[in-house]
Amino acid sequence: MDDEQQDAAARPLAGLLVVDVSRHLPGPLVGRILGDLGARVLKVEEPRSGDPSRQAPPLAGGRSGLATLLLAGHESVALDLKKAPARAVLDRLLERADVLVESFRPGTLARFGLAPQDLRRRHPRLVVCSLSGWGQEGPWAQRSGHDLTYQAVAGSLASRPAMPAVPVADVAGAWSAATAVLAALYRRRRSGEGCWIDQALLDAAGHAYVTGWAGEADGPKAIGEPLPLTGALLGYGLYRTRDGGYLALAALEPKFWRAFCIAVGRRDWIPRILSRDPRLRRELSALIAGRSGEEWAALLAEHDVPGEPLLSAAEARRHPQVKARDLLRDGADGLPRLAYPALFDGRRPRAGERLPPLGADTDAVLAAFDAQPPRRRRGDGIGRRRSLLTYLRGLLLRLLTRRR
């Protein structure tokens, strides 16, 4: 397979057009996933401040690391959807779009005259993906929320009530939505019809807690009661090491626990794999505190026991396996680019390089899609950056689009 074929294999969604009017993390992450797979993503942003991720701290050189990870490679179109001319422009874009991603509170699109059911009637092939916290229906549908509250209600914080290190509802919700979009597009190949996807972040948080639901098979668990994968098992947890770090010991299966016990000279612990005796846990903690993280990593690797030192994000970037997998790289702006987490025929899809300035692609995109409003006037809701370069770029894109 030559390089061109490999590039095509790593961009299976090439030719797909996604219009993303969502905000914050989950919706833009859906666009990022589809964009990494080759789709063209038009990021519609509010003209004055843009997507809130652009202001997410920390900022480096005036740029947000989060915005760079989410929006690089997209085209920024500035439209104030509170104004009718901008909504008319959006509807024109949707005439040729395959997917619309939105994350407004349920009912907001309808107030804009863009209800998903109406969009489906006007654009039968369009896949409308609506992300919301609680879902489009139900007594909580209009309630405010964030990742933390969705996880709280889904039960996923119950066994270890502490601030989560990862926004599970947001991230799992984005991946669930992207999967649903791909399933809808596959179905469209047979039926010719798009669909309306109702993706609740609450549902995603509940789905991500699959081990928690399994842990209640023998009865309800109290808040704070550890489960097998959240601290109940001796051989599966985090322990302090001599150098002040942590060891992630994952001797979950009996064969690994046995190998660990033999490696540390404690064969008497082998039958106690399910023990909840606090004295035994203190003994194990004291044992692990006697060596550094690197010493434990070497010993456990020698005996084929899963266990690794806990790394910071900066340390993880330097890890030899992360580097070998080419998961992260720095862009020209010094901010990270995170690649798609799978390879296609040995080639990993790459995140886009360019973080578009807010509204930088408005004129070019509108010209290419014949989406100019009847006349330009102040306050029409269209954010513009006029220049000869963008005008010519728009003409070129228009010609190329018409040839497709």
Domain annotation for the chain: domains and CATH numbers? 13-209+332-403 (3.40.50.10540), 228-324 (3.30.1540.10)
Q: What is the pLDDT of residues 123-149, one digit of tens each?
A: 999 999 999 999 999 999 999 999 999
How does residue 350 score in pLDDT terms, banded at 50, 70 and 90? confident
Bond preceding residue 58 cis, omega within 30 of 0: yes
Q: What is the pLDDT of residue 388?
A: 45
Mean pLDDT over 14-42 rounds to: 97
Tell me, letter by letter, the H, E, C secondary structure of the chain: CCHHHHHHHCCCCCCCEEEECCCCCHHHHHHHHHHHCCCEEEEEECCCCCCHHHHCCCEECCEEHHHHHHHCCCEEEEECCCCHHHHHHHHHHHCCCCEEEECCCCCHHHHCCCCHHHHHHHCCCCEEEEEECCCCCCCCCCCCCCHHHHHHHHCCCCCCCCCCCCCHHHHHHHHHHHHHHHHHHHHHHHHCCCEEEEEEHHHHHHHHCHHHHHHCCCCCCCCCCCCHHHHHCCCEEEEECCCCCEEEEECCCHHHHHHHHHHCCCHHHHHHCCCCCHHHHHHHHHHHCCCCHHHHHHHHHHCCCCEEECCCHHHHHHCHHHHHHCCEEECCCCCEEECCCCCECCECCCCCCCCCCCCCCHHHHHHHCCCCCCCCCCCCCEECCCCHHHHHHHHHHHHHHHHC
Mean pLDDT over 40-59 rounds to: 95
- Across the chain, mean pLDDT equals 91
Q: What is the pLDDT of residue 351?
A: 74
Mean pLDDT over 71-89 rounds to: 95
Q: What is the pLDDT of residue 224?
A: 93
How does residue 401 score in pLDDT terms, banded at 50, 70 and 90? very low
Q: What is the pTM of this model?
A: 0.89
Mean pLDDT over 297-306 rounds to: 98
Mean pLDDT over 369-388 rounds to: 64
Catalytic residues: 170
Mean pLDDT over 148-175 rounds to: 95
Share of the chain above pLDDT 90, in %: 82
How does residue 377 score in pLDDT terms, banded at 50, 70 and 90? low
Q: What is the pLDDT of residue 353?
A: 87
How does residue 318 score in pLDDT terms, banded at 50, 70 and 90? very high
Does the pLDDT of residue 292 top 50, yes or no?
Answer: yes
Does the pLDDT of residue 394 top 90, yes or no?
Answer: no
Does the pLDDT of residue 3 top 60, yes or no?
Answer: no
Inter-residue contact 158 to 212 (CB < 8 Å)? yes
Q: What is the pLDDT of residue 135?
A: 97
Mean pLDDT over 95-124 rounds to: 95
